[in-house]
């Protein structure tokens, strides 16, 4: 009789533990630490021209940009802009641009397949 209760109590305790903290650490490279930050910036500054899923709108698709440009090239493009794309060096901080570039560079052909 007591054992059943104990198990329920244990299960509850375990559930509370695993759901309690929002900083569970990174799960095996699935989500890079800067990813959430990068996506927030992207949504604010880039989405209007490159679309929510990176498939492109006014600007080109960025879904496979990691196969095309290095992180440094991405940083340069974001800083200085391009034809039809504004420069962001006065809009974003250097570390924000770097976070974005890092995140974008993870979008390679293998990963960026359409879902």
User: CA 12 to CA 55: how far, in whole Å?
Assistant: 43
Q: Which CB, 26 or 93, lies closer to ligand HEC?
A: 93
Half-sphere exposure of 70 (CA within 13 A, CB side): 2
CA 65 to chain centre: 14
- Binding segment for ligand HEC (CB under 6 A), chosen from 12-20, 29-37, 62-70, 106-114, is 62-70
3-state secondary structure of 85: strand
The answer to whether 65 contacts ligand HEC (rule: CB under 6 A) is: yes
Where does this chain bind ligand HEC (CB under 6 A)?
45-46, 48-50, 58-60, 62, 65, 68, 74, 77-78, 82-86, 88, 100
């Amino acid at each position: 009789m007591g054992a059943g209760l104990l198990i329920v109590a244990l299960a509850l305790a375990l559930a509370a533990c695993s759901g309690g903290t929002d900083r569970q650490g990174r799960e095996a490279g699935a989500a890079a630490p800067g990813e959430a930050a990068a996506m927030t910036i992207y949504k604010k500054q880039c989405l209007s021209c490159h679309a929510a899923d990176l498939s492109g709108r006014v600007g080109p698709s960025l879904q496979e940009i990691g196969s095309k440009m290095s992180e440094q090239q991405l940083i340069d493009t974001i800083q200085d802009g391009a034809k039809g794309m504004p420069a962001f060096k006065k809009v974003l901080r250097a570390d924000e641009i770097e976070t974005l570039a890092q995140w974008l560079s993870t979008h390679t052909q293998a990963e960026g397949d359409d879902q």
